[in-house]
Amino acid sequence: MTAVETDLTRTQAATRTETLIAQTEQHVAHNYHPLEVVVSEATGATVTDVEGRRYLDFLAGYSATNFGHRHPALVAAAQEQLRRVTLTSRAFYNDQLGPFATELAALVGKEMVLPMNTGAEAVESAVKVARKWGYQVKGVPDGCAQIIVAAGNFHGRTTTIISFSGDETARADFGPYAPGFVTVPYGDLAALEQAITPHTVAVLLEPIQGEAGVLIPPAGYLTGVRQCTRRNNVLFIADEIQSGLGRTGRTLACEHEGVVADMYLLGKALGGGIVPVSAVVAGEDVLGVLHPGEHGSTFGGNPLACAVGRAVVSLLRTGEYQERAALLGDQLRAGLDRLLGHGVVAVRSRGLWAGIDIDPDLATGREVCARLAGYGVLAKDTHGSTLRFAPAIVIQKDQLQYGVDQLARVLGDLRSTPVRAGGAARRS
């Protein structure tokens, strides 16, 4: 190709990017603010844009692609199932749901599974189950059930869930709000104990708050929550939709404290990045409160979802991914700790999951992410100047190092030519 031809191809590719972004912005509701990268292909820990540029994916679909994009075993399971049957509805039995529920329940150490599709649906389902359990098992007076949640939570975007969100952007103008929720500070055991009343049916928590910036509660908190919920005959619901399934170096983040919740909410990685699959996993004493017609979903428990979910469970059963996330997590942490004082003010991490607070005077998280993309690394900011790093667990050591090095490079650039004083005040 001549230099002129190369330039022309480049211009055409750039035009294609612009056209696709413009089309998306024109015809898709503006409920997200994406970085200006148009992905057309992905494999493992990397994605490729329409201009042929490769990036390391340090978000991994908010942990939906924990096992990497298009993991061969997961794609094979989906393809195999596509040749047989994909949807039956729960009006009939199918040959994947029973095995999926059995295998998932065993992985989590429980008896029963309620299959749903999205994470928010799993949370909604848990709210219903906890309330019904409260009325029928605990004996709470009708209509009085209360569920305790934590400040800074993220459990999804439905009307009930945003009713107990502290995020004003997610809440404002979507009322009237659902009653029955009490918010306490995250990590504060005394506040939680004080909030419990005879009408409390459940405590709903993320064992590590993901959207809040990978916030890890003080050591002993989850153990304390377990003890006080047990003492008060209250269910402990662990939302492990983002923290679960290998991300933190364990199958479940609760395991770090040896805590067993009454209900686990799983989603994201459970669908292997291929189809939405979520589940409530609990004992028969809890999920047994549901009877035909009381709850359901047309797509919940469909054979394609179950086949992919079974393949995900098989990957996790080996323990390989959990071990790898822990090992790579140590490398990630060491790399990020070296940036403390060089534009990074705080690092929190567990396994291959890190929240990184950037000096707000240097830049917003959004600005850092835009610059990282320029150096071939895709990451996502959250809350002003916090970044979240959560690459696929299949990422190679040198790729992980490359990502951390690019953050160092961006921070170096910013420190030599600060773009904005008072960056913290800018909207992210």
Ligand X SMILES: *Cc1c(COP(=O)(O)O)cnc(C)c1O
Check residue 155 for interaction with ligand X (CB under 6 A): yes
Instruction: Give the active site residue among 110, 132, 138, 268.
Output: 268
Q: From the list 147, 214, 241, 372, which residue makes contact with ligand X (rule: CB under 6 A)?
A: 241
- DSSP per-residue letters across 6-19: HHHHHHHHHHHHHH
Check residue 364 for interaction with ligand X (CB under 6 A): no
Task: Give the number of C-alpha atoms closer than 13 A to the C-alpha of residue 40, restricted to the C-beta side.
Answer: 10
> How many positions of this chain bind ligand X (CB under 6 A)?
15
Q: Chain centroid to CA 319: how far?
A: 20
CA dist 8 and 12 (Å) reads: 6
User: Which is nearer to ligand X, 140 or 279 (by Cβ)?
Assistant: 279
Q: Is 7 a catalytic residue?
A: no
> What is the per-residue binding string for ligand X in 250-269, x denoting contact by CB under 6 A?
-----------------xx-
Q: How far is CA 354 from CA 9, 79, 272, 341, 347, in A?
A: 38, 33, 21, 17, 7
> What is the per-residue binding string for ligand X in 92-131, x denoting contact by CB under 6 A?
--------------------------xxx--x--------
Amino acid letter, residue 175: G
Instruction: Give the active site residue among 58, 100, 154, 236.
Output: 154
Q: Is 268 a catalytic residue?
A: yes
Piece of the chain touching ligand X by CB under 6 A; list 98-106, 152-160, 252-260, 388-396: 152-160
Residue whose structure tokens are 């940036």 = 339
Q: Chain centroid to CA 187: how far?
A: 19
Query: Does residue 218 have a cis bond before it (omega within 30 degrees)?
Result: no
Cβ-Cβ contacts under 8 Å for 83 (sequence gap 6 or more): none
* Shortest CB 346 distance to ligand X, Å: 21
Q: How far is CA 314 from CA 245, 247, 317, in A?
A: 11, 16, 5
Q: From the list 115, 156, 272, 355, which residue makes contact with ligand X (rule: CB under 6 A)?
A: 156
User: Which is nearer to ligand X, 49 or 186 (by Cβ)?
Assistant: 186
Instruction: Give the active site residue among 239, 262, 359, 381.
Output: 239
Q: Where along the sequence are the contacts to ligand X (CB under 6 A)?
A: 62, 118-120, 123, 154-156, 206, 210, 239, 241-242, 267-268
Catalytic annotation, residues: 154, 239, 268
